[in-house]
Amino acid sequence: MSGMSGQRDQATEEGQRGHTGHPAPETRPRPDVFTFGETMVALQGSGPLKLGGTMNVSIAGAESNVAIGLARLGHLVHWSGTVGEDEAGELVLRTLRAEGVEISGAATDPDAPTGLILFEPRLPEVTRAHYYRAGSAGSRIEPHAIERVFAAAPPRVLHLTGITPALSPTARSAARLALRLACQNGSLICLDVNFRARLWTAQEAAAVLREWIPYVDTLIASDDELPLCLPTSGDGIPRTATNTEATSDKATNEDEIPGRATGGDDIRDRATGGHEAADEGAPSLARDPAATTADQARLLRQLGVGEVIVTLGADGATAFTHDGSLHRPAEPVRAVDPVGAGDAFVAGYLSALLDGEDLAGRLERAVTTGAFAVASPGDWEGAPTRAELGMLSAPPGTVVR
């Protein structure tokens, strides 16, 4: 599967670059992954903020975390977003460039500031986040920025999160346009639910996510986020495969989000098994959390999702596909900072998918990259390179020389 390895051909790439350092739109290689959203300046405190102390300055954003994780693993990744025309925005763009992420689709806004997030560690595995992003430049991303990226080179994978559509109506329109363009161009669509209660309510999130679900190839969510993706009955209770027949929630206006383009990359076949017919047989009534999760994943599969990946924190992750389910425990590591672990998991999963790995291989790489994040401070700083993936198997006290 050398065509999907995501490894860069340096000579070819350098030959395509102009004086600005970015490939010209007409010759730009097709990105492995395109993602977009708000990236903020991040201040990591040393303890309770009200007591003062020192703070480490970095950047943070779910989508850019994934982009950096993929770039470190050797994939060609394109990130788009808007930052303020300020020093904070320069830090965001400089950091992404330094990490090998393509940012030619990014923009600066002279009339809005770059967002800010403060991380406050309170316990070894508990961190509080304080956002200052209302009216930020990142919330003002517009659809035309997405159009430019797809016009230059449609990606093999579009990675969306549930954070971007929560930022503003324009950001929601941009995400919806990206979904439509990905469908038209045959890009695989990955959605990480990433629900943020401080940005929107569960009802607002569900209204958007349930519309998107029939077009999603790979869904990544924690077990408590799955209900946000499920259709509801008249009383507002999420449906399960035991209390309703599966029906598609596709938008009635097919001009808005069209059906899939035929042909194209085989990456979707690996991830979805071709979106074959719904699983046969109705599941029994769920009586425990694991059974409830399996029941919800089965309905999501019936609604069109190719594979459902349920993240379980310290318990690892379980994948549900047309072949059944597969669980992978988490890698045991000494926890330093849990922030960013979910984004690292996504980066590892998509990396292995691009490399043509089977489901077991995709989960293995995902929990590995997630473990690196947990064992390192910061949102993305601990993301491994491809050469470092095997380091977790080294015995304690090992010195790599």
Helix (H, G, I), strand (E, B) or coil at 389: helix
CA 124 to chain centroid, in Å, comes to 25
Residue count of the chain, please give it.
401
Closest CA to 310 of 368, 240, 224: 224
How remote is the C-alpha of 204 from its chain's centroid? 20
What are the two backbone dihedrals, phi and then psi, of residue 293, each rounded to the nearest 5 degrees? -60, -45
343 assigned to active site: yes
Kind plus residue range of the DSSP H or E element containing 222: strand 218-222
Cβ count within 10 A of residue 180: 19
Would you state the structure tokens that stand for residue 340, as one six-digit string?
Answer: 């960013």
Between the alpha carbon of residue 173 and those of residues 125, 169, 219, 256, 278, the distances in Å are 36, 6, 20, 11, 30
Q: How many helices (H) and strands (E) does the chain have?
A: 11, 14
Tokens standing for residue 68: 């950096």
| Residue 325 token pair | 């389910």
Q: Please pick, among 109, 192, 343, 355, the residue that the annotation labels catalytic.
A: 343
**For residue 297, what are the contacts with CB-CB under 8 A and spacing of at least 6?**
226, 308, 310, 320, 325
The percent helix, strand, coil of the chain (3-state, each to 5) is 35, 20, 45
DSSP string, 116-176: EEEEEEEETTEEEEEEE-TT-GGGG--HHHHHHHHHH---SEEEEESSHHHH-HHHHHHHH
Give the residue carrying structure tokens 């690996």.
Answer: 270
Which residue's entry shows tokens 């890698």? 331
Q: Rounded to 5 degrees, what are φ and ψ at 116?
A: -135, 140
According to DSSP, residue 63 is labeled H
Catalytic residues: 343
